[in-house]
Amino acid sequence: MGPSTVVLSTHRLPDEAVEVLKGRVDLEVLREPSRSMLEEAIERADVLIAGFMGIDGEVIARGRRLKLIVARSSGVDHIDVEAAERRGVCVANQPEAIAEAVSEHVVGLILASYRRIVEGNQYTVTGEWYSSRRFLRGVTVRGKVLGIVGMGRIGVLTAYKMRMLGVSRIIYYSRRRKREVEQLLHAEPGSLERIFREAHIIVIALPYTRETRGLIGYNLLSTMRPGALFINVGRGPVVDEEALAKVLAEREDLRAALDVYASEPLPPDSPLARLSGTGRVILTPHHAGGTDASLVETSILAARQVLHFLETGSVWNPVNSACREATDVPGLWGPLDRAI
């Protein structure tokens, strides 16, 4: 590693992240992140720090010196991970700070839905408060059963926050057993069918993969218990949106809050968009992870992961098998780190 090592960023980095790399590498930042500029610059890059610009197989093939791609995000949908793997290029992501922000957003969506905050705003400013005797009765979180589908960082941090708000039970679905979560947060492993049948609040926090595409369909959604609240902050294609809209239309007792969609931006004529006028559906524009702190912290951690790779050949957030996984993962949350 040295100034001759070229690290290319597709977007401007915060000053704090630039300071991490300063004097250690030759940092190049695309001032105008266009396809042509990326194709020209990647030919001399050893490492790519990727924002949300698409990194496809053709771009990766041009990176003859390329050894590592670090996404400044938890999702890597915009990167052709398989093409990178075929060329022996490690792909890593950076989910830590974003997970904290997304879990806060989940709590916000739950409270906004349960306490009818969006409806209450409209009720107040449109004058209905003066002309109506209707009382906007909310729902209390305490005592509810929380179901989490995808017990990664977002799921663990959401479970922790909701346990502090008084949920009575936490049931989770994950690829592998999370015994630390069970011990620290008294969570129970369960099937998808059990979660949809028993949980008052269902949070989808799954990544998008071949296995998860369309995983949540009509058969599951239609079994939700009366009054259930369905939330998706994972990836849009994990949920069959037409099926969700159909179930919400069929059952007026159900609620939903989403931050991710199969097609983004969400088309204005989407059935979900139309349902948002009912007061039972809250839609946000895939911004759950975007806070001032998370964007800076994510960039700093991405820069640190780049240096760690250049020094040791390993990363702490490997996405493909071209990576060697580091053992010294940076801790952020104390005892919860063991559970993630």
CA-to-CA distance for 118 and 132, rounded, in angstroms? 17
* Contact between 296 and 16 (Cβ < 8 Å): yes
DSSP-derived secondary structure for 70-105: EESSS--TTB-HHHHHHTT-EEE---HHHHHHHHHH
* Contact between 267 and 103 (Cβ < 8 Å): no
Q: Which of 96, 116, 286, 297 is catalytic?
A: 286
Give the residue-averaged pLDDT of 302-318: 95
Q: Where is pLDDT greater, at 188 or 75?
A: 188
Looking at residue 336, its pLDDT comes to 66
Structure letter (DSSP) for residue 23: T
Equal CATH topology for 6-93+292-339 and 97-283: yes
Alpha helix ranges (H) inside the chain: 15-21, 35-41, 57-62, 81-86, 96-114, 117-125, 128-131, 153-164, 179-185, 192-198, 218-221, 241-250, 271-275, 292-312
Residue 2 has pLDDT above 60, yes or no: no
Considering the segment(s) 97-283 as one domain, its CATH architecture is 3-Layer(aba) Sandwich (3.40)
Q: Which among 220, 214, 155, 234 is positioned nearest to 191, based on CA atoms? A: 220
* Contact between 47 and 309 (Cβ < 8 Å): yes
Whole-prediction pTM value? 0.89
Looking at residue 31, its pLDDT comes to 82
For the chain, the structural domain boundaries read 6-93+292-339, 97-283
Q: What angle do CA 317, 319, 324 make, to 5 degrees?
A: 65
Looking at residue 271, its pLDDT comes to 94
Give the residue-averaged pLDDT of 163-183: 95
Structure tokens given for 24: 């250690």
Task: For residue 303, report the phi and psi dihedrals to the nearest 5 degrees.
Answer: -65, -40
Q: Which of 235, 255, 280, 297 is catalytic?
A: 235
* Active site annotation includes 182: no
Q: What angle do CA 104, 110, 113 make, to 5 degrees?
A: 135
* Active site annotation includes 264: yes
Torsional sign, CA 304, 310, 315, 319: positive
Q: Where is pLDDT greater, at 310 or 277?
A: 310
Cβ atoms < 10 Å from Cβ of 24:
17
* Active site annotation includes 286: yes
CB burial of 95-106 (b: ≥16 within 10 Å; e: otherwise) equals bbbbbbbbbbbb
Q: What contacts 222, CB < 8 A, 6 or more positions away?
A: 247, 250
Considering the segment(s) 6-93+292-339 as one domain, its CATH architecture is 3-Layer(aba) Sandwich (3.40)
Q: Which of 264, 287, 311, 324 is catalytic?
A: 264
C-alpha neighbours within 13 Å on the C-beta side of residue 76: 22
Looking at residue 273, its pLDDT comes to 94
CA-to-CA distance for 157 and 160, rounded, in angstroms? 5
Q: How much of the chain is in helix, strand and coil states, percent to nearest 5? A: 40, 15, 45
| Interval 103-141: pLDDT, tens | 999 999 999 999 999 999 999 998 888 888 788 899 999
